[in-house]
Amino acid sequence: MKMSTKHKRLHKWLLAATILVLLQLLLAHKVQAETRFVISIIDTGIDLKNETLKKQLCRNEGEMGRDKNGNPKSTNGMDDDGNGYIDDLHGWSFFDKSNDLQDQHGHGTHVAGIIYQELKQLKLENEFCFQVLKYYNSETYSPHLLQASNQSLKYAALNKSQLINYSGGGYAANKEEEFWLRQLAHKNIPVMAAMGNQTLDTDQFPFYPAGYDLENVFAIAAATPEQTRAPFSNYGKRKFDFMAPGVHIKAFGLNNSQAYLSGTSQATAKASAMVAYLVYQNQNTFDWKDLKTNLKNWRQIYSRLNKKENPEFLDSGFIQKYKTTQVDAFGEPSPN
Ligand SMILES: [Ca+2]
Ligand SMILES: [Ca+2]
C-alpha cells in the first residue's frame, strides 16, 4: 500500500523529530568530565566579568549537559547530581545559598588572580581550575560567617577538591571546622591557610584554621620583597609552615582592573599555587613529608622545569625558609 503525500510528510517529520531527540540524548550524555586539578577557593567569590578567570572555573559534570526535558542542567533549577546544591556548576555561595558566585568585594578575585598568574608562569594554567566557594560578601561581620565557612569546607571535602585556598580565619577554634579539616586530611587534601594580619604571636593567640594541629593544614605568613616578615603578618613557632610574598602583590581587581594588595591572604594564594603544582606533579605518590621536602627544594625544581629562570618569579621569593628556623632567621617581630 502506497503512502499518501500527507502520510509521507508525517513520516518524514516523525523521522526528523526522532533524530533530533536522539541527537539531544546523545549530546546530553556527551558531557566532558572535568579533568583539570581542582583548587577550591573559599573566599568572596570571583569576578565573573573577568574572562580570564571565567575560563579557570571548574565544571561539575553532574550539572552539565541537558536533562530529560532538554533543558541545560546548569540552569534548570534542579539538583541534577543530588549533592544537595541546585545548579552548582562552578561552586556554591554559602553566603546567600545560591549558585551566584559573583564577587562584590574583590578579595576572592585577587586571590584567584594570584594563583592564576603563578600557574601561568609555569605555563600550567590550563591544567588547573577553580571551584569557587563563596562564604562572605564584605568585611561586615555576619553571624553566619563561620557556618558558611564550615559548609564551604564540607562542600570541598565532598565535591572533588584537590587543594583548598583559605585566605581568612579568626581567633576561635571550632569543632565542626576541625572535623571537616580532618575529613580533608583523610582525603589527602592540603589546606593552605593564612596566619592573619594583626602582628600577633599565634603561639599565644592561635588563628584558625591555620592554627589547627593538622598536617594537611599549612600555616602561611607573609614576607616582604626583601624576604623579611611583613610588619603586619602574624607569626609563631608552634604552627607555622612557611612564608610567601604578601606585600603589594599585583593581581586582578573587580571589573577587569588591577589591584595591589598586601596580606597573609596574598601570601597564601602564592603558596597555594606552588603546593597545587607539587601535588599535581605527585598525584599518585602523594605524601606530606615528601611535599614538605619538595617545598624546600622548590627553587631547584622550578629552575629544572624552566631551564631559564624567571627573575621576577624567583625574586618574589616564592618559598622561603622552613619551619621554626624561619622565624629565627627573620628575627623576633617588632610590635608594629
Ligand atoms: Ca547539584
Ligand atoms: Ca541543575
85 alpha carbon to ligand 1 midpoint, in Å? 4
Q: Are strands 163-166 and 191-194 parallel, antiparallel or unpaired?
A: parallel
Q: What whole-number distance in Å separates Cα of residue 78 and Cα of residue 80?
A: 5
pLDDT above 50 for 14:
yes
53 alpha carbon to ligand 2 midpoint, in Å? 22
Pairwise pLDDT comparison (228 vs 37), residue with the higher score? 37
24 alpha carbon to ligand 1 midpoint, in Å? 21
Query: Does the predicted model carry a pTM greater than 0.85?
Result: no
Pairwise pLDDT comparison (27 vs 44), residue with the higher score? 44
72 alpha carbon to ligand 2 midpoint, in Å? 7
256 alpha carbon to ligand 1 midpoint, in Å? 29
User: What pLDDT, on a 0 to 100 scale, did the predictor assign at position 27?
Assistant: 58
97 alpha carbon to ligand 2 midpoint, in Å? 14
Q: Quick check: 294 and 207 in contact, CB under 8 A?
A: no
pLDDT (tens digit per residue) in 213-223: 999 999 998 88
Q: Are strands 37-43 and 163-166 parallel, antiparallel or unpaired?
A: parallel
71 alpha carbon to ligand 1 midpoint, in Å? 15
**Ligand in nearest proximity to the CA of 92:** 1
**Ligand in nearest proximity to the CA of 76:** 2
What mean pLDDT is predicted for residues 126-131? Answer: 98
User: What pLDDT, on a 0 to 100 scale, did the predictor assign at position 311?
Assistant: 31
Evaluate the omega torsion of the peptide bond into residue 190 and state whether it is cis, within 30 degrees of 0. Answer: no
**Ligand in nearest proximity to the CA of 81:** 1
What mean pLDDT is predicted for residues 6-29? Answer: 72
pLDDT above 50 for 68:
yes
